[in-house]
DNA sequence: ACGACGGTTCGGCGCGCACCGAAACGTCCC
DNA sequence: GGGACGTTTCGGTGCGCGCCGAACCGTCGT
């Protein structure tokens, strides 16, 4: 309250909300888009139930999460896709963490290869698919990755509930910036539908938390159909390997 | 330090950094990409010099700002474009502020119309130009808004230092998500060059802080050349008015 | 009806942070 | 060189936040 001329956007509320390690951990757990009961979040954050309850109240007040009572549990989830997007962008800043040590690097590598971002595919798999579908003419490449007619047919052929996605109130397609690849992947209701289909068809399987493991059938599918190979070999060195085999640059 | 399986990205550091109102105000001031001495930031944030110095040390430790001593002053600026991007994305979350009151709404409206985002044009002007240049074939529309040959010629014709921009170490073009329009505008070294040119040519003028005022010559230029009219009438209602007159949707 | 269980609210405790005043350091000006 | 000024460092103080234990409310099971 005060200060100079034009008051800008105030980062205080969301900053305070993310400041506490326990809250940061909770939000990190919810980044996969799932809704989890307060007790589980408390256990994961390493705090007692009362502290967790207050933390969740703070997060809710900041507009980052919402809670819905179901039965005698209370399920908390991220308030919306835009929250996941902003957090994803924030994550791109925090990389300087050295991240040495076996478990951490293995885990970080798995997340970089394929993971769920709120409710859609991300990581090298996500950006690879998005780029391949753009070059294939399934997605128009303006900033929102709009779905083309060919794309609707193609995705329907994969078993994706395209019609349900376009009927949803959310934007059908949106571009979400990836914090590992620094390139966009497909979000929005269609992104969610694609993610759900990949999971239901057994092309990907949840590993730890938001991490995803590409199954054998999924690996074959994405490699043979679109030339995407997100499991870039050793993984040492991280972001290096190119995602798509076929050329994606040049004229659109 | 602990907790469950795969430790995710940690929002704690940047969260803590943005938590204090004084630090948030300082960062807000630096969002225009300028470098300012510590004393000015202290005055703007309403704290004493010692507190400001410590705040800036915290921000520097979090990797958000960098300080360079020049003479007996010490100039602080955002650490890089990616910081500005992430903060811009964060700003999109904080909108729920009612923002009634004359001065605030007028100022917010000016910022929504045209402003500097770190070092490039943003607001309706920024996204309008980006979209117009995509439809004109100056920019390829993949997520990075890559510069085409025609775009290089066209921008050179406007007096933009295109060659200096491509020679810079930064990425030449990047897409930056706008928090008022929720659409992308042109960032990267080319975005900076465009912004500098617009300022030098007198097409825009700095109003308060990062706000920009479109001059008469600039208004004529963008309207007659690309059909962009960022000064959307009353401004009441904010985001409503379409930015570009010519159709931007449809097939790419 | 009762007890078990998950969640929230209420006091209270302790650490940590934000702020300032005083002093030290470095640079510019005369 | 001396003095002024901008900035940082150093102690020290006070408020606020994060945590817990205990108590209170609700739902589920029987």
For A:163-192, CB contacts with B below 8 A are 175, 177, 179, 183-184
CA angle in degrees (0–180, nearest 5) for B169-B171-B175: 155
Q: By CB neighbour count within 10 A (0-12 exposed, 13-18 middle, 19+ buried), where does B213 fall? A: middle
Domain ranges of chain B: 12-79, 100-240
Cα separation, A123 vs A125, whole angstroms: 5
pLDDT digits (tens, 9 = 90+) for A41-64: 999 999 999 999 999 999 998 989
Question: Strands A184-187 and B65-70, how do they pair?
Answer: unpaired
A100 touches chain B (CB under 8 A): no
Higher pLDDT pick, A105 / B20: B20
Distances (CA, A) of B15 to A23, A175, B20, B124, B234: 10, 25, 9, 29, 36
Determine the 3-state secondary structure of A20 from DSSP: coil
pLDDT digits (tens, 9 = 90+) for A194-236: 998 998 898 988 876 677 888 888 888 888 888 887 765 433 3
Residue among B12, B46, B13, B28 nearest B91 (CA):
B28
- pLDDT value, residue B120: 85
Q: Which two tokens stand for residue A93?
A: 């800043």
Chain A residues within an 8 Å CB radius of B249:
142, 146
B7 touches chain A (CB under 8 A): yes
Q: Is B6 in contact with A184 (Cβ distance < 8 A)? A: no
A10 touches chain B (CB under 8 A): yes
Q: Provide the positions of strand D that have an atom within 7 A of a protein CB.
A: 5-11, 17-23, 26-28
Q: How many CB pairs below 8 A link A and B? A: 190
pLDDT over 50 (residue A243) = no
- pLDDT value, residue A105: 54
- How would you label A173-204 residue by residue, b for 16+ Cβ within 10 Å and e otherwise? bbbbbbbbbbbbbbbbbbbbbbbbbbbeeebb
Q: What count of other Cβ atoms lies within 10 Å of the Cβ of residue A29?
A: 20
Q: Which two tokens stand for residue A103?
A: 């478990």
Question: Strands B115-117 and B73-78, how do they pair?
Answer: unpaired
First to last CA, chain A: 48
- pLDDT value, residue A140: 85
Question: Strands B73-78 and B65-70, how do they pair?
Answer: antiparallel
Higher pLDDT pick, A159 / B146: A159
First to last CA, chain B: 49
pLDDT digits (tens, 9 = 90+) for A172-199: 887 776 766 657 788 888 988 999 899 8
Cα separation, B90 vs A163, whole angstroms: 32
Predicted confidence band at A69 (pLDDT cuts at 50, 70, 90)?
A: confident
ipTM of the complex: 0.63
- pLDDT value, residue A250: 33
For A:206-245, CB contacts with B below 8 A are 208-211
Q: Is A6 in contact with B111 (Cβ distance < 8 A)? A: yes
Q: With a cut of 50, list the residues of chain B below it in pLDDT.
A: 1-7, 96-100, 233-252
We find that the CATH architecture of domain B12-79 is: Orthogonal Bundle (1.10)
Chain Cα centroid distance, residue A182: 13
Predicted confidence band at A239 (pLDDT cuts at 50, 70, 90)?
A: very low
Name the percent of chain A lying above pLDDT 70.
Answer: 77
- pLDDT value, residue A102: 52
Out of B8, B15, B63, closest to residue A96 by CB? B63
Q: Which two tokens stand for residue B104?
A: 């605030």
């Amino acid at each position: 309250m005060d200060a100079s001329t034009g008051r800008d956007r105030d980062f205080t509320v969301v900053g305070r909300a993310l400041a506490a390690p326990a809250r940061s951990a909770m939000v990190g757990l919810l980044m996969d888009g799932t809704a989890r009961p307060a007790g589980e979040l408390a256990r994961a954050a390493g705090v007692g139930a009362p502290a967790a309850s207050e933390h969740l109240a703070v997060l809710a007040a900041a507009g980052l999460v919402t809670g819905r009572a179901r039965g005698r549990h209370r399920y908390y989830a991220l308030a919306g896709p835009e929250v996941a997007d902003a957090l994803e962008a924030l994550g791109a800043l925090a990389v300087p963490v050295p991240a040495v040590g076996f478990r951490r690097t293995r885990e970080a590598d798995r997340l970089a290869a394929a993971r769920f971002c709120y409710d859609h595919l991300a990581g090298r798999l996500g950006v690879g698919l998005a780029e391949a579908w753009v070059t294939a003419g399934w997605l128009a490449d303006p900033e929102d990755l709009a779905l083309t007619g060919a794309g609707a047919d193609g995705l329907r052929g994969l078993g994706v509930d395209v019609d349900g996605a376009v009927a949803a109130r959310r934007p059908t397609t949106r571009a979400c910036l990836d914090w590992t690849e620094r390139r966009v992947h497909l979000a929005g209701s269609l992104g969610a539908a694609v993610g759900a289909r990949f999971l239901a068809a057994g092309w990907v399987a949840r590993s730890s938390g938001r991490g995803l493991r590409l199954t054998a059938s999924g690996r074959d599918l994405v490699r043979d159909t679109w030339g995407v190979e997100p499991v870039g070999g050793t993984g040492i060195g991280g972001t290096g390997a190119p995602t798509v085999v076929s050329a994606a640059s040049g004229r659109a």
